[in-house]
């Protein structure tokens, strides 16, 4: 795009060169380099490595190009501390931005939590749901064009949190209207599965939660007889 804009202007009338020699050569070089990186962009350290220009020239060029709105600064989630530049006509790839769920290099946790709650509220009114049904619901509720893949990612998150379970339809009972083999979701039943008397028997005692269990010995510095977690646990019960 940017290439076609320059050739048009040279046919119409003579204008002062945009990039006269000298310091402006540096700008041109840097702009070409940044454009070549397209959706990935480039950081200052890499600009220096590839152009071999002096720090001052790079700094001035970047400032000038930004002022002219030819480049923009974006956040690279892999390296948030260093400035990362991209030509204005490109959008950061998922590799740089982190993906659909990131905003300015940070995970949009509040939004993700809201989507989870919305899905769970809907699912609690149904015995079993498919991804398609949840997608239909969310399309009516969110203000952007949410894809089926994005809905799948949210449902997978809720599965990983163990609030719902993923099952396959066998066409019988609750699944009679769902084709056999289709992946469905249902709310995980059994409150306290994680800390119930059997699965949680180890996790619910101090040793189960202790990050220093490997250092604990019967008569050592960390021992059951002098353990502060035991003291707290036995006192808390009262």
Partner 1 sequence: MVSPHGIQFAAHLISSFYGELCSKVCECLLRRGTLTLAQIIQSTELSRENVINCLRVLIHQNCVQAFAVQREGAFGEAPRIVTQYMALFNNIIHKLRAPKFMQIVSEELGKDGLMQHGRLSLKRIIDRNEQTAGSSDIHVVRESFIRLLNARFIERCPAPEPFLAPPAEDEAPAKRRGAKSAKIAEPKTTEQRALAAAAPMESMRFLMEMDDLPEKNDDESSDSVTHRKKRKQDVLKSDEDVLDANDKKEVLWRVNFEELVRRLRTKACISYVKTKINDEAGIVLSAILDLSGRPESRQKAEKTAYLSINAIYDEVIKKEGGLGMDFERIRVSLNQLGCETLSTGLDESYSIGTHLSSFSYFNAVVESVVLRRYGREAYRVFRLLSKAGRFLETDKISDSTFVEKKDAIKILYKLWKDDYLHMEKVVSSGARQSLFLVWRVNKQTLWEQVLDEMYHAALNLRLRIAHEQDRGKEVLQLPREKLVGELEKKYKLLGKVRVILESSLMNLDEAIMLFHDF
Separation CA 109–CA 114 (nearest Å): 9
Q: Examine residue 173 and tell whether it contacts partner 1 (CB under 8 A).
A: yes
- Answer yes or no whether residue 238 interacts with partner 1 by CB under 8 A: yes
As a whole number of angstroms, the distance between CA 129 and CA 184 comes to 6
Three-state secondary-structure class, residue 89: coil
Angstrom distance (rounded) from CA 20 to CA 23: 8
Query: Which residues are within 8 A (CB) of 126 and not within 5 positions of it... i.e. 6 or more apart?
Result: 133
For residues 132 and 102, give the distance between their C-alpha atoms in angstroms, rounded to a whole number.
24
- Integer Cα distance of 153 and 19 in angstroms: 47
Of 2-10, 55-63, 130-138, 197-205, the window that binds partner 1 (rule: CB under 8 A) is 197-205
Please identify which residue in 6, 54, 103, 107 interacts with partner 1, judged by CB under 8 A: 107
Binder among 63, 78, 117, 232 for partner 1 (CB under 8 A) = 78
In this structure, the strands spanning 183-187 and 164-168 are: antiparallel
- Residue 237 binds partner 1, judged by CB under 8 A: yes
Closest distance between partner 1 and the C-beta of residue 37, in Å? 13
Q: 204 near 148, Cβ under 8 Å?
A: no
Q: For residue 189, state whether it binds partner 1 (rule: CB under 8 A).
A: yes
Instruction: Identify which of 194, 92, 108 has the alpha carbon closest to the alpha carbon of residue 157.
Output: 108
Q: Should residue 201 be labelled a site residue for partner 1 when binding is judged by CB under 8 A?
A: yes
Task: Pick from 20, 23, 196, 220 the residue near partner 1 by CB under 8 A.
Answer: 196
Contact 23, 110 (CB under 8 A): no
Q: Is 208 in the site for partner 1 (CB under 8 A)?
A: yes
- Counting residues that bind partner 1 (by CB under 8 A) gives 53
Using the contact rule CB under 8 A, the part of the chain among 14-22, 28-36, 141-149, 217-225 near partner 1 is 217-225
Q: Write down the least CB distance from residue 111 to partner 1, Å.
A: 11
Question: Using CB under 8 A, which of 69, 172, 221, 228 touches partner 1?
Answer: 172
Interface with partner 1, residue 203, by CB under 8 A? yes
CB 77 within 8 A of CB 105: yes
Q: Which residues are bridge partners to 129 per DSSP?
A: 185
Residues near partner 1, by CB under 8 A: 77-78, 98-99, 101, 106-107, 112, 153, 156-157, 160-162, 167, 170, 172-175, 189-190, 192-205, 207-211, 213-214, 216, 218, 223-225, 227, 230, 234, 237-238
């Amino acid at each position: 795009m940017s290439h076609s804009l320059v050739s048009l202007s040279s046919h119409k009338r003579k204008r002062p060169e945009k990039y006269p020699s000298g310091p402006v050569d540096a700008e041109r070089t840097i702009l070409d380099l940044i454009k070549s990186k397209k959706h990935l962009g480039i950081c200052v350290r890499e600009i220096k490595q590839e152009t071999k220009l002096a720090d001052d020239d790079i700094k001035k060029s970047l400032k000038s190009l930004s002022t002219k709105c030819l480049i923009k600064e974006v956040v690279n989630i892999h390296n948030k501390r260093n400035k990362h530049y991209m030509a204005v006509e490109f959008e950061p790839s998922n590799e740089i931005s982190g993906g659909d769920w990131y905003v300015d290099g940070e995970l949009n946790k509040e939004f993700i939590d809201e989507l989870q709650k919305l899905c769970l509220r809907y699912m609690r009114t149904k015995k079993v749901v498919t991804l398609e049904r949840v997608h239909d619901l969310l399309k009516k509720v969110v203000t952007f064009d949410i894809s089926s893949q994005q809905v799948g990612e949210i449902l997978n998150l809720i599965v990983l949190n163990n609030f719902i379970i993923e099952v396959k339809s066998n066409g019988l009972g609750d699944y009679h209207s769902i084709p056999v083999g289709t992946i469905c979701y249902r709310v995980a039943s059994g409150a306290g599965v994680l800390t119930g008397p059997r699965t949680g028997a180890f996790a619910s005692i101090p040793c189960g939660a202790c990050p220093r269990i490997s250092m604990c010995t019967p008569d050592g510095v960390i021992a059951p007889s002098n353990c502060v977690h035991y003291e707290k646990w036995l006192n808390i019960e009262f």
